[in-house]
Chains A and B, each alone.
Chain A
């Protein structure tokens, strides 16, 4: 895969790596980190010319130093506050045991990446960085390799039973100059299930990787809310591998943030597996949010669904790059993909690149992408029933987002997220 990189890209990669040091840790981790560093050196960091970065400028993610991002002061209760869960708190990318719950949950083993000794993580030996490495083909994801090499903290979660409560990762942002990398690994054993929640802005700049390996019959639900801080930058990756009859569901709420790119690489490797990935993003002004999704069907009779909705105003930009790849022999694949931008004014932009690549003949795949404004007919209909203009508009915005939000299975969690969206709309009223 090694390509000759233009001199400038090599320099940029070198400059980015200069201040970084490989973390110390258990031997298998060190090996995985060194391998990731070698991958990264081969790939180099992306430039504006990279096709995969056509709609999103990676310059600020590449920069050796992260620009500052003001810490949002708010007395709003954090997302998921009312949900019964096991909380693990990270402050500017560093695990904080004092603010966290005791990580004891039946059927779930949790270790901290920064502290694991060789023996603790026998199950993770072949896992850390493995799904990330697999996800580098056919498209390079240099920031994920960077993360595998240099992330010093995160959690390793092994699920052996049906977790009674969600595990909730809370990312607090305290330092306006924080620049962090977190790497989590989740292994859901056969027949086990877990809900993982993530919330909070995390840092001024964050690079986060989540690797999820789901064994046969396992189920993994993931819901995250990326925090409200305006200037923060984030590049995140989810790498998931699904076994036979397993389930993967992930939903992301992005509110604000000057640059957010969420990549997801999902591979259905066992028959009859189901993968749903969805996102709702709302942005106002200096907001650039990018969902880049790659779903690979490599087994029989699997279902995948991608549902991404973006509400944009005041010059905000939304990006969606989504691909469904159906490999040879992945018959009876049911693939669905929808991406939609709702423009609340004429200044905003939604850029979408939906792709299907199919090498099996007995499949049902559909995809669609639309950009539009609020439906005037619907607006008038609501108003003619007495609903005030602003309320009617907000109702239609929430209605637009609902197909994505419906992907969250827990009604309690979905209700919490809906309230955040309502609050965002409320704050934008004149």
Chain B
């Protein structure tokens, strides 16, 4: 489904190569994890996939079901089925969370040639999904992420994901800053979306989250490259020995 081949990315403003040839393929229904030390390029990968400005792709490709992601506008990528749960969700004063979600859901439906959801249908859907994530009505009314705690922001990301029903979900450190209970809630939200078809790319610093969201494949990224790929046991190895051993081995 998601195919990344030899992806090379530098900063637009600086002569700094961040991704130095990333290869990765996530098949339908698979859950892949990317782990790696800080600064290795994990967030950069997620931003480049979703189309953030400031990066220049100077080699390789990224496709979703064969469509070239790199040529699309961010909103087109979303309509094509890509979703990024941000490491740092953005606060947007003045835009109500509910209004935002309804606009987003209907924009995507429109882009895909589907009929827009009625206000009533939308409300019913969001209430059910929000309840699963323990997001109360008051949080839905507040401006997007404004005054939300770290955990609330991350749950709000998962709510958006649940509402938008993407094909391919990229989660960037959705576990960071969460206590155990909040993490379980988030993991349940993600697991509820695993339907055998949807793909997941779970970026995380810690093995913890992977106890709850069981990955099929684990990749280790370092200095802009995937340096090791293995099964879930690779995450445990990192947990026990840190990244040092793996990095030494590769070097």
Contact residues of A with B, CB < 8 Å?
Answer: 375-378, 380-389, 391-392, 395-396, 398-403
Known: A386-B107, A399-B93. A376 touches B75 (CB 8 A): no
6 pairs of A and B residues whose beta carbons are closest in the complex:
A399-B94, A386-B78, A386-B108, A385-B104, A383-B74, A402-B94
Q: Known pairs A382-B92, A385-B108; list 14 more (Cβ under 8 Å).
A: A378-B92, A380-B90, A381-B86, A381-B90, A384-B52, A384-B83, A384-B86, A387-B104, A388-B75, A389-B73, A391-B107, A396-B94, A399-B93, A399-B95
| Chain A residues, CB < 8 A from B78 | 383-386
B148 within 8 A of A: no
A381 interface neighbour in B79, B89, B101, Cβ under 8 Å:
B89
Contact across chains for B100 and A382 when beta carbons are under 8 A apart: yes
Residue in A386, A398, A401, A403 whose beta carbon sits within 8 Å of that of B75 in the complex: A386
Residue A396 contacts which of B74, B95, B108, B160 (CB distance < 8 angstroms)? B95
Known: A380-B53, A384-B78. A399 touches B92 (CB 8 A): yes
Closest-CB distance, A401 to chain B (whole angstroms): 8
Compute how far the CA of A384 lies from the CA of B53 in the bound complex, rounded to whole angstroms: 12
Q: Which residue of A lies closest to B54 (CB)?
A: A376
Nearest neighbor of B104 in chain A, beta-carbon distance = A385
Q: Mark B69-88, 1 if CB is under 8 A from A, else 0.
A: 00001110111000110100
A222 CB → nearest B CB, Å: 23
Give the interface size bracket for B toward A.
20 to 34
Contact partners of A388 in chain B: CB under 8 A = 75, 107, 111
Closest B residue to A406 by beta carbon equals B94
Interchain Cβ contacts under 8 Å between A and B, 7 examples: A375-B92, A380-B52, A382-B104, A385-B101, A387-B75, A399-B92, A399-B94
- The answer to whether A403 touches B74, judged by C-beta atoms less than 8 angstroms apart, is no
Smallest CB-CB separation from A403: which chain B residue? B94
Partner of A387, one of B83, B94, B103: B103
8 Å CB contact of B74 from A378, A384, A395 = A384
Q: Which residues of B contact A378 (CB under 8 A)?
A: 90-92
User: Which residues in B have their C-beta under 8 angstroms from that of A392?
Assistant: 75
Question: Which single member of B84, B95, B143 contacts A384 (CB below 8 Å)?
Answer: B84
B44 at the A/B interface (Cβ < 8 Å)? no
The CA of A396 and the CA of B90, in the complex, are separated in Å by 13
- B-side contacts of A396, CB under 8 Å: 92, 94-95
Known contacts: A389-B73, A389-B75, A391-B103. The answer to whether A384 contacts B50 by CB under 8 A is yes
* Residues of chain A with a CB closer than 8 A to B143's CB: 399
Residues of chain A lying within 8 A (CB to CB) of residue B93: 399, 402-403
Query: Does chain A have a CB within 8 A of B189?
Result: no
Among residues of B, the one whose C-beta sits closest to the C-beta of A400 is B94
A376 cross-chain contacts in B, Cβ below 8 A: 53
CB distance from A411 to the nearest CB of B (A): 13
Contacts of A400 in B (CB 8 A): 94
Separation of A401 and B103 alpha carbons in the complex (Å):
19
Chain B hits for A403, CB < 8 A: 93-94
- Choose among A380, A389, A401 the residue with the greatest number of B CB atoms under 10 Å from its CB: A380
Question: Given A391-B103, A399-B92, is A385 in contact with B160 using a C-beta cutoff of 8 Å?
Answer: yes
Residues from chain A with Cβ under 8 Å of B79 in the complex: 386
Q: Which residues of B contact A375 (CB under 8 A)?
A: 92
Contact (Cβ within 8 A) B94 A383 = no
Q: Are A384 and B51 in contact (CB under 8 A)?
A: yes
The distance in angstroms between the C-alpha atoms of A384 and B111, with both chains bound, is 13
Evaluate contact between B94 and A380: CB separation under 8 angstroms.
no
Q: How far is the CB of A17 from chain B (nearest CB, A)?
A: 46
Bitwise interface map of B from 20 to 38 toward A, beta carbon under 8 Å scored 1, else 0: 0000000000000000000
